[in-house]
Each structure stands twice: as structure tokens, then as C-alpha cells.
Structure 1
Amino acid sequence: MKPNEKAAVGNEEQPKKKKKKRSSPYAQFTFAVVKTVLVILISLGCVFGGILGGAVFGYVKNATPITADQLDITKLTSFIYDKDGNEIAQIKGSENRVLVEHSEIPDNMRNAFIAIEDSRFRSHNGMDIKRFVGAAMEYIITFGNASYGGSTITQQLVKNITGNEESTIKRKVQEAWQAMALENVLTKDQILDNYMNRITTGSGVYGVQAAAKKFFNKDVKDLSLAECACIAGITKSPGLYDPTLGEKNKARNKDRQETILDEMLRQGYISQNEHDEAIAEQLKFYQPKDEDKKSSASVQSYFVDYVLTQVKKDLMKKYNLSSDAASIKIYNSGLNIYTTQDSNIQKIMTEEFTNIKNFPANEKISNPDMQAQGAMIVVDPTTGQIRGMYGQYGTKEVSFALNRATDMKRQAGSSFKPIAVYAPAIDLGLITPGTVIDDVPVYMDTTKPNTPYPTNAESGTYQGLINIRKAITKSQNVVAAQVFRDYLKPENSIKYLKKVNIDRPDEGYISMALGGLRDGVNPLDMAAAFVPFVNQGMYVEPISYTKVTDDKGNVLLDRKQDQKSNVAYKETTAFLMTSMMKDVVTSGTAAGYIPDTNLRYGQVKNKEGKTIPTAGKTGTTEDYRDKWFVGYSPYYVGASWYGYNTPKSLKKTEWNQALLLWNKVMNRIHSNLEVKDFDPAPEGIVKKSICIDSGKLPGPYCASDPRGSRISTEYFAKGTEPKDECDVHILAKVDISSKDIYGRPLLATEYCPPNLVQEKVFIRRPVPYLPKDPSNKSLATAIKDWMYELPQGEYCTIHNALTSHPASSSNTGNENQTGNGFTVPPIGGETLPIEELPDDGMDVIP
């Protein structure tokens, strides 16, 4: 057929097309909108997919695969040495983690973890796509509050190795890639075994073997199905599911164990009969016997406990390890840890703190929670190296018990004054050892404006005019508070405390100056803070180890190289503080004699009976709840604390126990040491004779004070020494028969009989003290120098023009007359006429 014929035929045979029915306008509009939206969504999806793909590519590109070193878990024992290289402890994995081979792990344990943690573990390539997408969708739908995660066992192993727990998309993407890469180099069994040897399986327990020992006192290979499911259930959250942490935890663990057994049945790992028997099995958790608890072979010393916590922290920081990974490194990698412990010092401290004679309050108390406690630390001030520590009274019964020497937080009382008040104020040139403060009632508690606050330890008594040296020696609270508020200022105290690593940015209140801290301190804090006083003003961070090497001798941590130090005070400040705190142990609060000895509490002698110089500061907290002594020699700084777990007022017989513990330890430590003095006065220290009541150069009457000469020699940082002469001691005539309400003789007038008039030396306060209630004699008479104060502007009220003849002669011959308890000393210099007394603004009685 010709083409035109074909066309013709086609035209003839082609049936007529039906006319299409037009859809409604509504349907057309709906279709157009849907088509438009689909196009937009597809376009946005492409854009978003491109962005997401780019981000994923970037995350993966920056991720690093897990290395063989990170996967390695060894069984090598780690060794700990003292400062002289003697072995003091072996740290074995069996104490908190025992690694087990594949053949030692029962299938029930393996399958329990797979069933509850990762049901498709055997089939996925490191990332479970279905689970991952499900978790991602729930994450989006719940705005980040997904009830379950998408991590496979392999991904959990990666997270455990890297320690990266950031809740970010980047971490999840990188973790998934690392897991897939790991599955290319390890078998499923190797991954699962590594996982079960790493994970936390209880409070302080890592790995399934250690868990088997802790909970059932069995090897993992001997566990029943029910016991395997129990351990597998703990891993999710040991704090909630460790059955040894209380009845609630035990109930939660049982519920989770049954959930795991249900999953094992559903997934075909166990039969119905095995499931039912495991559900019915009554688990018997292991309870260690008393002798097992007390076994010294498994109990580490306080020093070893502390060293291990520090090494772990430093490994985590330097090598970006998780807590678990760092613990594995310590317990299973054959490390050699070289500590700063002096084993002789540690032995002495252990003996003294386990000696009931040093804790007589505990003789009839068997409950440790009710017993008196103590703690102490000894530091070498030139290196900052800790030489010994003890954290409680009595024998240490468990590893990682509360170490009160390093971990507790208690108020420090007056032992805090040198570092919070006096050293900073001297360093800034605001005060000197000779600066005089008026120790009189003050009212610093704004909520109780009529109640004296603070008060001194010797309640209700005040020294009056007192210099800083004496205030430290006698531990006067009022003086410390005034220096803190009126001279130093809180912000400077906080700044200086930070220099000795006591960071208290929010504690700049008056009570802080007295050691009343909201966030307390421990003996380690205090010993380290006192180091600058014996180390030329330099603070040196306290360290417990010097280096850590691996089993091949490679240095992993060099603590001495990383040790921090800084200038806390000028060298002159350190010298002045030590000079003053030497007085604390010779004539102050640490100068009392130990009963039945001729040794002062703060005194140290060697075996030849020669005294080695010491200095320090006592501390007592409110209601005598805590007692402290931070004392030091040229060789060591020691900080001791005594109190109770639940703070309570100490009996009077316990008030010197912190001092006694310090004394017993420090005297034995120094037994074989030669006498050595503190560093001599550095350049920049000058010596001056001063009046101790004014802090100024002696005036004509300072030596004639009724209490005896008030002239003393004092040290000063050059440029801070006094230049002016004393204006506190003055000479005046008084009538010994006329008294004020406090019993002090009043100033004589021209009408007073000569035989009743005496010339006396008085003190005149730079700032007059006026009791809030003048009729309350107790407040004024509680001030010990009140009776020596000139009654300014108060004249004889007995003799006047109507009762007496005017005095026409001086009192020659009456200088030594005694009146009202005063013995008149010989007086040199000119007499200050009554009319030349300075005007103090008070009315003068004619």
C-alpha cells in the first residue's frame, strides 16, 4: 500500500475521538497546588540533601579511625613507687576489672547483651540503618527528646574508647563512620568481647568478669542465664540498676532482667523452659565477710587512692580518654607510677592516726560514724611534693574511702586569717606587723546592729589597742575583721586567695576573714596555701606523683614538668608572716604545754632535744566544731584537722587534739633532722623600735606606761616603717580621789589638794571609743586597756572653789603614791599642763 493510501485508510478506519469532559475548576486548582507543593518539596529536599550530604562528607573527612592502640586491653599489672623508688603497691585489673578471653564468656552473656542492646548486631555493618533512621525520626518529631538511641554495640564501643559523649549530629555521624570502619578490621566476636570487657557493669565495676565477682563471687563462665541477664541489665545505668545499691535498685534490676529474658526468648536465643526457669530463679547477691572487707592485701592507702585519682584525671585530660578508658589504662596497662610519698613519713602518720591514745574520745565508741575523726597532710614546701597523708581515725578498711585530708570541705576558723587577711594586707602595704588596731566591740552584722559582731574567741574580752603581731599571736577576731573591712577590702582578699588556689569569688563577706566559709577547705588546701610563707612567697602546686611510664619505659605523664607555680606574695611578706607566726608557737595559741611534758604543742625537737624553729596558726570554728593547726618548719608544712563527721561541739578535753596530732607526727618526722632556721631577712627588710600601742616611733612616755615599757623592736618592709612619733601615750595630772563611772581617776583641777594630785602616763585612743550604752560598764571594762585610758574632758567632780583651796604647788614627793590600783612610775620629760590638753570636742567642766 502506498503511503498516501495508508494514510487514507487510516483516516477511514480511525474512530472518532470522544470529547473530553472538563474537570471542575476546584479540582483543577487543587491539582495545581499539589503539583506546585510537590515540586517545591522535591526542590527543597534536593537542596537540603545536598547540604546534609556536604555536612556528612565534612564530618566523615575529619573523623579518625580507631587505632590498634586504642583497642588494646592488656593484663599487665601496674606498679606504684615511693619517692625513693621502692615499690609500695601493685595495681591489678582483678581489683576492679578482670579481662576475659572469648572462650571464657558464656553464650548466654553474649546473647543477653545482643538481645537488649543491638538485636541486629550480627547482620549490620556497624550501623543499624533501620534503628538509626527510627531514632532520627523520633528525634525530629520530639524536638530532641527521643526515648531511645540508634547506637549499635559497635558504636557504643567507639564512644567508650573515644570518650566523646557530645549530643550532636557531628558526633553521631563520625561515630557511625568509625563503627563501620572498625567492622572492617575486627570480627563481630572481637568487637563484642572488647565491648564486654570495657563497659561499666556496676558501681565501681568494669567488665563482665569483675561484675560476676562482685555480684555473685563467681567467674563469668560459671554464671547462670538469670545471672547473665542481671549483669547485662546494669549497664544501661548502674546508678539505677546496680542491685547492691538498695532495694529500689534491686527491684528495677529484676524488672530489666525479665525484659532481657523476654527479648532473648522472642529472638530465639533461649527456649520457653529456659526463660521460665531463669525468671523463677532467686538471685543471691554476694555479701563480703568482715574479714574480706578488712583484708589489708586489697586495701589501698589514702596516698595510693589519691595518686590513682590524680593519674586518672591527668590521663583523661592529656590523651582525651573517657573515665573508663583511663581506668583501663591504669589497671591493665603495666604502668609505672612514681609518687612523692616518703614511706617513713607515711608510716609515722599511719601509726599516729591508728593510735587510740591520740583519740581518747573514741575509747568507748565502736560506731565509726560517731567517732571523733582527724586528718593530716605533710608537704615539702620547696617542691610542693606531698610526703604523706592520712584521712581518718583508725585502720583504713576499704579502698577509695572518704579521704578527709583531700576530699572533705570544712570551715577553717582562724587558720584562714593569714591567707585571707594578713598576708594580702601586708603584701599591698596596707598594714605592717606594727600597725595598731583598736580591739573594741564592733557591730558589723547589719541584721543585729546592737549586738557586737564579731566577738573574740575569749568571749566578751577585748585587748584594746593591739598591733598586728599580737593580734595574730592571740588570734583576735575583731582585729582580723577590721583589717579585712577597713584596710584590705573583700575583692583583694579574694584575689590573693586565688593565688594560693583557693577560689572563692562569691564569699567576700566578713565571716570569710575569720574562716567561716560557705565552701570549706581541707588539709591539702591549707597546707598548700601556707607553702609561700616558707618558700620566699612562691606558691607551688601540690603534687602526689612525679611521672608515669608505660611498660616499655616511655613517659606518659611528667607531673613535675606540668606543675604550676606562681608568686603569691613578696619575699618580704613571707618573711614578716613567718616572723609573726613564730610567736604563735612560742607565746600564742599554740604555745601551751602538752600534759606531762616540757614540750609546747607547736614546738618540734629532734632526737638530740634541739629545737627546730616552727611557725603556724591555729583554727577553731563556731561552737568549737572543728579544730585546725597549720604549722611549718624549714623542712615541712603540716596541716591537721580534728572533728566529727557530723559537726558537733567538741568537749574541752578535745580542744588541743589537732595540735597534738600535728605535734606527734612532726616531732617524729624531724627526729633525725638537723636544726635549721628559716631563711634570713631578705633585702628590703628593716628593723625599727616602735611603741606597741601606737605603731609609731617611741615618744617620751612610751617607756613609762603603768604596764611597763611599751617599746619593742619590729620588722618592716622597707618604706612601710613609721616616721612619726607616738601620740598615744600622754602625761596628765589626775585627782586620785575622784573617779569616773568606770573607776578611772579624773583630771585634776586647780582646786584639787596637792596630796591627791598625781602625774600619770595615760593612753589616748586615736579614735575615741564610746560604748553604745555608757551605763553598761561590762562592755567598757571588758577592754583590757580601758583602765589606762585618759578620761578626756572629764575633770574632778569633788573639789571646787567652795570645797577646797586652790593648789599652789606641784606634786613633788607624791610620784610613787598608790591610788586605785595604780602605781605611779618615775616620770621623765615635761608635764603637760591641763590647759594644753588637746580639745577633743567634749564639754569641759569648769
Structure 2
Amino acid sequence: MRKRTRKPVPVHNLKVTRKGKVRKRSIVWRWRRAFYLVGLVAVFGLAGLVYVLSQIELPRDPRFEDAYKQTSFMCSAEVQVNCNAQNAMAQLHGTEDRVLVTYEQIPDVLKQAVISTEDKDFFEHDGVDPLGIARAAYHDIRGSSESRQGGSTITQQYVKKTYLSAEQTVTRKIKEAVMAIKLEQKLSKQEILTRYLNTVYFGRGAYGVQAASRTWFGHDVEALNAGEAAFLAGLLRNPNGADPYRGPKSLAEAERRRLVTLEAMVRDGYLTPEQKAGYAAIPMDPDAPGIAPEDRFVQPPPVPSTLGEDVKGAEWGSEYFAEYVRQWLIDEFGADTVYGGGLKVYTTLDQSMQKSAFEAVTSTLNRPEDPAGSIVAIDDHGQVKAMMAGTDFENQELNLATGRESGGSGRPPGSTFKTFALAEAVRQGYSIRSVIPSPASLEISEPQCTNGGDVWKVRGGPGGGSSLVTATKKSINTAYAELMMRLGPDAVAGMAQDMGVSSIADQKVQCSWVLGSGEVSVMDMAAAYSTLANEGIARTPIVVTRVEFPDGTVRNYEAEEHRVLTPEQAARVTFALQQVIQGGTGREANFGRPAAGKTGTTQNNADGWFVGYTPTLTAAVWMGFPEGQVPMRNVHGMSVQGGNFPARIWNRFMKAATLASESVDFPEFDEKVLGDGEALDATLGRASVLSPPTAPSSSGRPSATTAPSGTPTTGGTATTDPTPTTAPSATTAPPTTSPPPTTAPGAAGGADPPQ
């Protein structure tokens, strides 16, 4: 075995001791040049920092300046460049709701709440807190929620909001730190905290603690208790996300933030655990039982709008769209940027279409006692071109088009939801020629189809069997109830969500949804049906195409998209929905161009719908009373159904909205491709024809005089489809039927009219 030899040590790394022994020099000696270099870099770095500190000057005292006076401009789609005060449809700016208070006027509990949550070492550091930065980084790496504080001190936050932009760059962070240190040298801690609390945004247009106290609690800041102070401190990071009046999600977030702040105050010795428990137990829900309006924890939002005084197009309801965009901007960028950023916002709204939507509703529902109406129109790029969401924004800001998203509630969609069952059947490979039982009535128990434990009573069928085309065209309830049983409610709800009904995720799916017992918004329905217009591609609606920032930064927006159906599958659904307009329940929607759509009417005629599309434009129409569940049985002397008033409104809007554009056909597919697929019911099979022979229209589709789809070519009735020779005769009730119920079905388990 070979003996390893040691490498000789260089002579310059050896030294001779006093006793004459030779030893290796220390590691410090051997690395002395590197240490010298590091030392020089540190010295020059420190000198550079001192130089930077000496060069950066703080602007003059901004205590009485309004850092939020810059105006942001919002333009409609007609303006493509240079959005400004002259061509803007709306201007966004601070509401001037700010009242300065002194350090002595601010109660200790509010100072303590803010310091505990934002900067617990505020009185110890010199403007920048290295330990706080390290602590925040540590918890970020761990993914822990233990620390609710960021790395920025209160001084840094004040500097950023007052002197600097919101850009996330290293240069800006260095400036922020340097200016924070200089501010600490210039002002006392009390002065810095007072300035911060007088300028920070607390939501609802309130800047500073005095305006916030009055806005949220209806009293001056001096009267705040620890529970109220904890609530205000919890608003600082995202005020709009913790307003108890903006729905269950925001309410839960407000309660969570208040509790986190109270716990931090206990940790820092400002409160006892018993005091914390007492304040945390105070109900925050504005609808909590047994609490009078004047005793609510926080007050309702103020009525005045935070839009500019004049909105172009206000005479045809553009304020609702502008307010929707304003809320979106705040969620996207934060209130400080929106109200103080000098943004130029380019929206998707087509003012001409908006006017057409407004006139279509108001010319149809033209009497003082008439119900309300709403329209949302979306083009083939996913851009919202019109949003008719109300007629009196000054007195009623509730957006009828967006439902829960804008603080309102959803609406039952009626039979417009049947389209999602049809699309799911096609996605699963079934033919639209499939014949399915369509009895006069039926009862479906819980094991057969989940419906909240109730027996589901459905009526509204001709008897015998009907093809899916005819069941869609005539909106046959019992046929679609049978279809829902076969497909399963989860699959149908999944299709609706895939196509664009975003509110489904928050609801419990039931079988009765196929007849429209769930809750949707007008926006959701327009988005979902546009998936069919786009040949199976779902596009998430957008209201803004571009935002320009004062520093030259530009952010562009396009609709996110994903494929739900193949082009052939989408064409099959479209074919069935064309029959609705050409000779079915939606005949009054026919405006002379290739179009497809579906009617919808809810229990007791409380809601009326028509949702339809051309290849390039989709529009959803809803009508009803804003308070909901009010029967519409005597509107202009008749009961409202999806096929009358909503279809007429849709017709008038689409005729005006497409007047300046060329007529576009749906993609061509022969009847074999359209009719392909398996039979849903092996016994009943498929209808022998997709539709009877007719002279084609200019679009290559059956003309408006087409006979009912599925009508037998020899014999039979017009309400049922021909069945194979092995199927029961049309007069034989399918085994799932039962005698008609002796009582009218309830709202929960009943069926809407066949519209």
C-alpha cells in the first residue's frame, strides 16, 4: 500500500517561534488580504451611505397638504389613447373626508392597537427595524401566520405613502429606509405617529382616524374603545376586504382581524385576557338578531358615491359600470394608488351599446310600477360592452347585474340553467337526438337525486318521450328533471362553473337546480352562454383593458380562457338553442339574425330571464323586483315569463347593438355531426331525425318557420319525438312517473313554469 505524502506548506505561511520551532501562521494571517479588502469595501460603503443620507432631502412638511388629490381618469372603450379630464367617463379622487387631530386627541387604545399590529418596537428603533425585517422574512419563509407585521416600520409606511411611489424596486426601498431615518432625526416619535394616523386610509373614503371613527362608528376619535380601536387597526392592510357590510367573507375577515389585534394587545400588555374576551364577543354582524340598527358595532356605509360628480353616460346608467370598475381597481391596486396615483384606466364599456341596453329595458318596462330590468353584454373577446344595472344610481347603488359580488344577492335563473345540463349531456357523449321520458308530472325522492332531503315534485311535460332538442325548444321540465337524475347534479353544476357561473362554488348543489333554484348573477349567465358563442372556449369577463401609471408603467389585460367543449359539442348545444328562438319558447327574441338562447321563469313568476347569443355578442336579460320573491303576475296586464318581456328586451337590445355590424353565421356542421352521440335511454333510443326537412335560411340553418324539432315525419304528435319500435308508445307513462301532486309544489321542491 502506497504511503500518502503531505503537501509541503508554503514558506510564507510558516513562522519561527522564539524557541526556534517552525509553525504554521494563523488563518487570520493567511487571509489578511481578503480581510483588508472587505474592510475597505465596508469603509467605502459606509462613506457612500453617509453621502446618500446627506444628499436626500425630505420635502416640506406635508401635514396640511393633501397627498390624495391627484385624480385618476376612467375612459370608455371609444377612447384608446390619452385618457384625460376632457374625454374621461369618470374621475376618481379622494373624498376630502379628512379631519386632522392632535396626539393628545388620539386615545391611547388606538395608538396601542396600531403599534401592536403594525410596529411593536416603534418607540425603540430609529426608523428602520432590522429585527422586524428579519422576523417578517423568517415567517414568510416558514409560511407562518404567527406574525401579522410586515418588515416596514410605521415611519417607513408614512414615508412611502407621503413621499414615494408604490413601485416595488430596490432603489425605492433604499430611499424609503434613508428617508425614514432622516425623518426620525427631524421629528419626535409622537409627531410621526400623529402624522401617520392623520393620513392613513381606513376605507369608505375616510383618511385619518377622526374621519374613520365618524364613518365607521358615528362618533369622534376620543370616544373609541379598545374593541373599536382593534377594528380600525385591522383595516390598515386592506380596508375594503374587512367591511362587515360587504358579505359573509368580509364579515369573517373583519372578525378575524379584530381578534388578531386584540391578541397582540394582550401580548404587549395593553389588555388583559378578560378584556380581550369581552371585546371579541361583541357581535359584528350587522344582521345579528336582537340588535337594533343604532346599536350595531359598525355603521352602514355612507350613501354618497365616491365617484366624481359627473359620469359621462349617466343618463343611461353608466354609473353602475363605473362603480364596478372603481371597486375592481381598489381590489387590484389599493385605494391609495387609485385615489392618488394619477391613473389612466381604459375600460371595455361601449357607450353606444350601453345606451341601447338602457333604452331596451326602459322602453319595455316604462311604467312607474314596473319591475326592474338588467342587461349584461359580453363580446367574443370576453369584454363587457354594456352593463345596465339600474336606473337611479343616486338613490339605489345596488348593482342588479353583479349580484353578490357588489353586495347584493343572486337570482334564481329559472330554465336558463337547463342549458348547462344539455351541455353536460353532450360533453358526456350523448346525442341531442336522445329521447328522454317527459311525463306530465313526476316525484323524485332523495336517493334518486339529492334535493336537500325533500321529495322533488316536477310538472310540465307532454307525456311520452321527447328528444333533447324538443325538450330544450319547449322547455319541458319533466324531461330535464329526468336528465338531471341521469347526469347527476354535481356534474351539471360543474359544467355551469366551467362555463362561467362563478357563484356556484359557494352554494349547495341540488337536483332542482336544473329548473333554476340556485342563485346566479346576470354577469355570470352572460359569461357562461358566451362559452357557446366562442365555440366551447370560456373567457372570464374583463372590464378593463389597460391601466397607465404616472411613471410610464402600463399594465394590459386580456380575458383568461380555457376550453370547456369541443367546437362540435358547442355546435350541438347551439343548434338546440337556435330552435328556442326559431319556433320555441323564445320566439319573441328572434330579431332576424342567426342567434341562439334560452328562456327562464322562476317560481311564482318572481324572475324572468332570456340569455342568448350571436357568434360575436352574448347578452343576458333579467327582470324582477330588487327585493326578490315578488310575483310578477300583472305587468301590463300579463304574467311575466322568460318568453315575453325578457325576450322582447333582448330582441330590442340585440337589434340596436348589432345594427352597424355585418350578420355572422354560426360555424357549419352537417346534421350527422350535430346528431352524433349515444342515446341517454337505451329503451327510448334516439329520434330518427334531428329536425324535419325545411328550406334553409341564408345562414344555412332552418328558417324561422321551421316545424318543431323532433316532429315525426309520419304520424305522431307535435309535442313528442318519434321513438324506436322497441320503445313504449307515446301514451304509455314511463316507469318514473306518478300522478300529479294534489297541492302546488313549494318554492324549495317545486318546478318553475315551462319557459
Query: When the two structures are superposed, what TM-score results if normalisation uses the length of structure 2?
Result: 0.58
Letter in 2 for 1:565: E
Match of 1:589?
585
Compared with structure 1, are the counterparts of its residues 114 and 240 closer, same or farther at alpha carbon in structure 2 (3 Å cutoff)? closer
C-alpha distance in 1, partners of 2:737/2:399? 54
Contact 2:105 2:221 in 1 (8 A): yes
Compared with structure 1, are the counterparts of its residues 91 and 775 closer, same or farther at alpha carbon in structure 2 (3 Å cutoff)? closer
Letter in 2 for 1:396: F
Contact 1:687 1:713 in 2 (8 A): no
Match of 1:358?
365
Match of 2:339?
331
C-alpha distance in 1, partners of 2:381/2:89? 23
- In the alignment, is residue 652 of structure 1 matched against residue 638 of structure 2? no
- In the alignment, is residue 310 of structure 1 matched against residue 328 of structure 2? yes
Q: Identity over aligned residues, as a percent? A: 22
Match of 1:499?
498
Contact 1:199 1:206 in 2 (8 A): yes
Task: Identify the match of residue 559 of structure 1 among 552, 557, 560.
Answer: 557
Letter in 1 for 2:727: P
> 1:503-522, aligned counterparts within 5 Å?
504=504, 507-517=508-518, 520-522=519-521
Letter in 2 for 1:347: K
C-alpha distance in 2, partners of 1:462/1:95? 61
> 1:164-179, aligned counterparts within 5 Å?
none
Contact 1:208 1:231 in 2 (8 A): no
CA RMSD across the alignment = 5.7
Letter in 2 for 1:379: I
Q: Deviations over 1:525-574 (max 9, x none)?
A: 1101001221121111110010111024321x3212xx311111111122
Contact 1:97 1:209 in 2 (8 A): no
Contact 2:605 2:641 in 1 (8 A): no
Match of 1:633?
614
Compared with structure 1, are the counterparts of its residues 203 and 547 closer, same or farther at alpha carbon in structure 2 (3 Å cutoff)? closer
Match of 1:796?
none
C-alpha distance in 2, partners of 1:239/1:665? 48
Shift, 1:472, TM fit: 0.3
Task: Identify the match of residue 357 of structure 2 among 326, 349, 371.
Answer: 349
How many positions carry a matched residue from both structures? 539
> Could you say what secondary structure the match of 2:462 adopts?
coil
Contact 1:378 1:637 in 2 (8 A): yes
Asked which structure has the greater CA Rg, the reply is: 1
Task: Identify the match of residue 301 of structure 1 among 319, 324, 329.
Answer: 319
C-alpha distance in 2, partners of 1:209/1:351? 44
C-alpha distance in 1, partners of 2:740/2:579? 30
C-alpha distance in 2, partners of 1:467/1:489? 19
- In the alignment, is residue 478 of structure 1 matched against residue 485 of structure 2? no
Compared with structure 1, are the counterparts of its residues 156 and 428 closer, same or farther at alpha carbon in structure 2 (3 Å cutoff)? same
Compared with structure 1, are the counterparts of its residues 762 and 182 closer, same or farther at alpha carbon in structure 2 (3 Å cutoff)? closer
Match of 1:388?
386
Match of 2:70?
76
> Could you say what secondary structure the match of 1:345 adopts?
helix
> 1:546-695, aligned counterparts within 5 Å?
546-555=545-554, 557-560=555-558, 563-591=559-587, 600=588, 602-604=589-591, 611-654=592-635, 655-656=639-640, 660=645, 663-664=648-649, 667-668=652-653, 670-671=655-656, 672-674=659-661, 676-682=663-669, 686=673, 695=686
C-alpha distance in 2, partners of 1:155/1:616? 56
> Could you say what secondary structure the match of 2:535 adopts?
coil
> 1:97-496, aligned counterparts within 5 Å?
125=126, 154=155, 183-187=180-184, 188=187, 191-192=192-193, 195-196=196-197, 198-201=199-202, 203-207=204-208, 227=220, 229=222, 236-238=230-232, 297=310, 301-315=319-333, 326-353=334-361, 358=365, 360=367, 362=369, 372-380=371-379, 382-392=380-390, 394-397=391-394, 401-406=398-403, 407=405, 408-418=409-419, 420-432=420-432, 434-440=433-439, 441-446=441-446, 453-456=456-459, 458=460, 461-486=461-486, 488-496=487-495
Compared with structure 1, are the counterparts of its residues 403 and 96 closer, same or farther at alpha carbon in structure 2 (3 Å cutoff)? farther
C-alpha distance in 2, partners of 1:291/1:182? 37
C-alpha distance in 2, partners of 1:679/1:646? 39
Match of 1:95?
95
Letter in 2 for 1:425: A
Match of 1:842?
none
Q: Deviations over 1:210-231 (max 9, x none)?
A: 65996999xxxxxxxx956358
Compared with structure 1, are the counterparts of its residues 666 and 397 closer, same or farther at alpha carbon in structure 2 (3 Å cutoff)? farther
Shift, 1:401, TM fit: 3.5
Q: In structure 1, list runs of 5 or more residues that go unmatched.
A: 1-66, 130-143, 162-176, 218-225, 247-285, 316-325, 364-371, 592-599, 605-610, 703-709, 716-725, 732-760, 780-846
Shift, 1:121, TM fit: 6.8
> Could you say what secondary structure the match of 1:512 adopts?
helix
Shift, 1:81, TM fit: 0.8
C-alpha distance in 2, partners of 1:292/1:303? 13
C-alpha distance in 2, partners of 1:227/1:491? 52
Shift, 1:352, TM fit: 4.8
Compared with structure 1, are the counterparts of its residues 399 and 336 closer, same or farther at alpha carbon in structure 2 (3 Å cutoff)? farther
> Could you say what secondary structure the match of 2:443 adopts?
coil
Contact 1:78 1:336 in 2 (8 A): yes
> Could you say what secondary structure the match of 1:589 adopts?
coil
Contact 1:416 1:514 in 2 (8 A): yes
Shift, 1:462, TM fit: 2.4
Contact 2:70 2:340 in 1 (8 A): yes
Contact 2:621 2:649 in 1 (8 A): no
Contact 1:390 1:405 in 2 (8 A): no
C-alpha distance in 2, partners of 1:232/1:208? 13
> 1:711-750, aligned counterparts within 5 Å?
none
Shift, 1:186, TM fit: 2.5
C-alpha distance in 2, partners of 1:359/1:620? 21
Q: Deviations over 1:354-400 (max 9, x none)?
A: 56x6153626xxxxxxxx333221111x10000111223x3111696
C-alpha distance in 2, partners of 1:109/1:564? 50
> Could you say what secondary structure the match of 2:478 adopts?
helix
Q: Deviations over 1:598-648 (max 9, x none)?
A: xx2x122xxxxxx22322111122232222111222342111112233332
Compared with structure 1, are the counterparts of its residues 466 and 684 closer, same or farther at alpha carbon in structure 2 (3 Å cutoff)? closer
Q: Deviations over 1:466-497 (max 9, x none)?
A: 111111011111111222222x3344324423
Contact 2:686 2:724 in 1 (8 A): no
Structure with more contact order per residue of length (Cα contacts < 8 Å, sep ≥ 6): 2
Match of 2:40?
none
Letter in 2 for 1:388: A
Shift, 1:197, TM fit: 5.0
C-alpha distance in 2, partners of 1:664/1:777? 38
C-alpha distance in 1, partners of 2:411/2:670? 38
Contact 2:75 2:90 in 1 (8 A): no
Shift, 1:416, TM fit: 0.7
Contact 1:534 1:634 in 2 (8 A): yes
Shift, 1:331, TM fit: 1.0
C-alpha distance in 1, partners of 2:566/2:308? 50
Contact 2:477 2:515 in 1 (8 A): yes
Shift, 1:576, TM fit: 2.0
Contact 1:603 1:614 in 2 (8 A): yes
C-alpha distance in 1, partners of 2:217/2:740? 71
Query: When the two structures are superposed, what TM-score results if normalisation uses the length of structure 1?
Result: 0.52
> Could you say what secondary structure the match of 1:206 adopts?
coil
Shift, 1:772, TM fit: 10
